Amino acid sequence: MILPKRFIPLLIMLGFIAILIITPLVATLFGVPIVAMDDSYISRASFDFYTLAHLLWGVAIFVVAFTIGFISKNRSGNPNAPLKPPGFDRLVIYWLITLAIAAIWEILENSLLIFVGMKIEYDSAANIITDMTIWGIGGLASWYMTDIMFLSNKIIRAYYIYGIISLLSGLLLFIVFGFITTNF
């Protein structure tokens, strides 16, 4: 049985979720906390309140990469020309761009930001792995929703509603977890 290409991001997401389960469990063997419950464990624990920001950045970077690619691919000068839906290979490229930017961010965060004094402590290996995995999951969710959007014109409105709800709930959770982490 051949699996449709639109299910590939979901399969990759399952692999990334497995990484999110395994990484903190292995890290606890080395004394790394799973969740930062106060600000002294931020950057050391596998998950801290910045984890939600990484998820939102994964969603956002994929959407920006997709939008730039989609506009450039459909730029014809004829406003009545039909839109060309994104191919599977293009969606993979946009997701890989999301992962590359996640890697670049982690390198900058743990080198340049420490060098200029904006960050005090290096991230633990578990924190870096979970941060990049979360970026990837955010990109995969956007990939899947983008793919669904092009399967049916009826779902386009739902795609934007999903995006707005994801952004608002992510920001709300980020604020709540940030408050809990830094004030208790």
> For the chain, how many structural domains are there in total?
1
Q: Token pair of 106, please?
A: 């982690």
Residue whose C-alpha is closest to residue 149's, from 136, 163, 135: 163
Kindly state whether residue 9 falls inside one of the protein's structural domains.
no
The pLDDT, as a whole number, for residue 140 is: 93
Kindly state whether residue 153 falls inside one of the protein's structural domains.
yes
Half-sphere exposure of 14 (CA within 13 A, CB side): 4
Kindly state whether residue 158 falls inside one of the protein's structural domains.
yes
Provide the 10 A C-beta neighbour count for residue 40.
12
Q: Which residues of the chain are modeled with pLDDT < 70?
A: 1, 151-163, 170, 174, 177-184
State which residues form the domain around 112.
51-178
Kindly state whether residue 8 falls inside one of the protein's structural domains.
no
The pLDDT, as a whole number, for residue 53 is: 84
Kindly state whether residue 21 falls inside one of the protein's structural domains.
no
Chain segment 9-30, per-residue pLDDT in tens? 888 989 999 998 899 899 999 9
